[in-house]
Amino acid sequence: MPRGRGKRGQHKGQHRHFTNEEQLVADAEKARKNREWREMKGMASDEEEDAEAGKGEGAAKPDDVAEEEESGSESEEESDDDPGKPKGISHLIETQNPNRLASKTTKKVTELAEDDAKPFLTRREREEIQKQQAKAHYQKLHIAGKTDEARADLARLALIRKQREEAQKKRDQEKQQKDSEKKAAENRLLEKKNAAK
């Protein structure tokens, strides 16, 4: 015999019990009448809450759904009249069940930030934040040119610019000299041709 079935598992050849449809309809009618009676008396039970939760899951049959919708609309009308009216005796008994939450108060992220104005940080987190702030401050000073490294960089850049300008001037002079030599050579050729004619 496979594990997990227990002592009274489903054995081959045993009769199975099926509930007939008439019995299901009769049980549903009885439950509906009981629920109506409880609504009239202003009482509610956990079974009703379970049945309402089951209705949302699709556990109710199609015949019962129409009946529950009719009775549900009536109960909604009644609940609109007295929204603060407690159901059952749950308001009389104080329970201290940690699993049962009364009403969750949700907060937005912005409200949480306001509540926890100064969070508790570990030493490593504080050191990391201080390191980031120091780095940002140094970058700001470096961009402004107030650090020794920035001054050295600016001096080096000025020297490189000066060298590039001098090299550009030298190239321009050489180009002008080549152009003048080329024109002079062309003029000499023209003079030779004219002299040869």
Q: Would residue 92 be called left, alpha or beta, if left means φ above 0 and alpha means ψ between -120 and 50 degrees?
A: alpha
Q: Do residues 61 and 28 lie in contact, with contact meaning Cβ atoms separated by under 8 Å?
A: yes
- The per-residue pLDDT for 59 is 44
- Return the ∠ at Cα 103 (arms to 97 and 108), rounded to 5°: 130
DSSP code string of 12-74: TT-------HHHHHHHHHHHHHHHHHHHHHT---HHHHHHHHHHHHT-S-HHHHHHHHHHHHH
Measured distance CA(177)–CA(80) in Å, rounded: 102
pLDDT for 2 equals 53
pLDDT tens for 76-124 read 444 445 566 777 777 777 767 767 666 666 777 777 666 555 668 899 9
What pLDDT is attached to residue 16? 72
Q: pLDDT tens digits for 160-169?
A: 999 999 999 9
pLDDT at 10: 62
For 156-176, letters b (16+ CB in 10 Å) and e give eeeeeeeeeeeeeeeeeeeee
Q: Are residues 187 and 132 in the same domain?
A: yes
d(CA 93, CA 38): 19
Distance separating alpha carbons of residues 61 and 23, to the nearest angstrom: 13
Residues 53 and 17 sit within 8 Å (Cβ to Cβ): no
Angle at 107 between CA 103 and CA 112, to 5 degrees: 140
The verdict on 129 and 188 lying in the same domain is yes
Within-domain flag for 97: no
In a domain, 12, yes or no: no
Give the C-alpha separation, 44 to 35, whole Å: 8
Residues 130 and 71 in one domain: no
Instruction: Classify residue 100: in a domain, yes or no.
Output: no
Domain membership of residue 94 (yes or no) is no
Q: Is 50 within a domain?
A: yes
Residues of the chain with pLDDT under 50: 1, 56-62, 64-69, 73, 76-80
Which structural domain, as residue segments, surrounds residue 141? 125-196
Residue 13 maps to a domain: no
pTM: 0.30
State the total domains in the chain.
Answer: 2
**Does residue 160 lie within any of the structural domains?**
yes
Q: Is 151 within a domain?
A: yes
